[in-house]
Amino acid sequence: MKDIKARHIPVVILAGGRSSRMQAEGLSGDKYLHLLDDKPVIAHLIERLQLQADHIALNSNQVQSVLSRFALPVIADQFAYNSGPLTGILTAMRYAKEQAFVVTAAADTPFIPSDLLEALFNRQQAIQSDVVFAASNGATHPTFGLWRTHLAEKLSTWLAQGHKPSVISFAATIKQSTVDFPFGTLSNGSSYDPFFNINEPSDLILARQLLKQLTI
């Protein structure tokens, strides 16, 4: 355990959302595949994660050919029911079962902090949490978390028992903590939430504006 470094922890990007709000307003396809500047939203996330992690995988039920451009392992859901992000989190735990921890991240969040993994891992080591969530401005982001992989059996049983498929509800049954990340600064002096996520066409427009002003 002492030899673990943050960048050695596997990261699984949760790319299984239905993009219902995006599609309801006229944009078809998965929201994380829409272009932000000259590349898909998820590509921005991958680039930021590659500076922090040695191993990244995608959790998606998409056909392999759709995601092959990213040259990352693609793992399909390993739970029979649609339980939202918890299905992806369980899949991530099982995928990384040989490791002590796994980090999950949302596919539609292109501006994550450059110290995400380091900060989550340091917090876990300090208080030995079962899960450490990222937060910003006091709001917790349940899809961004560092999880103990041995929780897979507990989570599988919990889901099979028909509990509400809520990440926060499950986290209430284990030892949890958070790391609150500061807002980033844009070149025009304004700030932005590093966990800004793209759900609607208007978010995509805003993300393009933010990208032009990013200082890092």
Total domains, the chain: 1
207 is in an annotated binding site: no
- Residue 61 marked ligand-binding: no
Q: What angle do CA 103, 180, 129 make, to 5 degrees?
A: 50
Q: Look at residue 27 in the predicted model and tell me its pLDDT.
A: 39
Neighbours of 1 (CB within 10 A): 6
Going by C-beta distance under 8 Å and a sequence separation of 6 or more, which residues neighbour residue 120?
Answer: 6, 103, 132, 134, 145, 146, 179
108 is in an annotated binding site: yes
Q: Is 83 domain-assigned?
A: yes
| Helix, strand, or coil (residue 147) | strand
Distances (CA, A) of 149 to 22, 31, 92, 145: 32, 28, 8, 12
Q: What's the domain range around 85?
A: 6-213
- The four Cα atoms 47, 49, 52, 56 give a dihedral, to 10 degrees, of -110
30: annotated binding-site residue?
A: no
From residue 122, alpha-carbon distances to 6, 75, 101, 144, 204 in Å are 8, 27, 13, 15, 32
- Let me know if residue 1 belongs to a domain: no
What residue type is 122 in one-letter code?
A: N
Within a domain: 175: yes
Q: What is the CATH number of the domain that holds 203?
A: 3.90.550.10
Residue 35 marked as a ligand binder: no
16 is in an annotated binding site: yes
Would 168 be classed as within a structural domain?
Answer: yes
pTM of the model: 0.91
Task: Flag whether 59 is marked binding.
Answer: yes
* pLDDT per residue as tens, the chain (216 positions): 456 899 999 999 999 755 444 344 333 458 899 999 889 999 999 999 999 999 999 999 887 778 989 999 999 998 767 789 999 999 999 999 999 999 999 999 999 999 999 999 999 999 999 999 999 999 999 999 999 999 999 999 999 998 988 999 999 999 999 999 999 999 888 999 999 999 989 999 999 999 998 865
In contact, 44 and 54? CB cutoff 8 Å: no
- Residue 193 located in a structural domain: yes
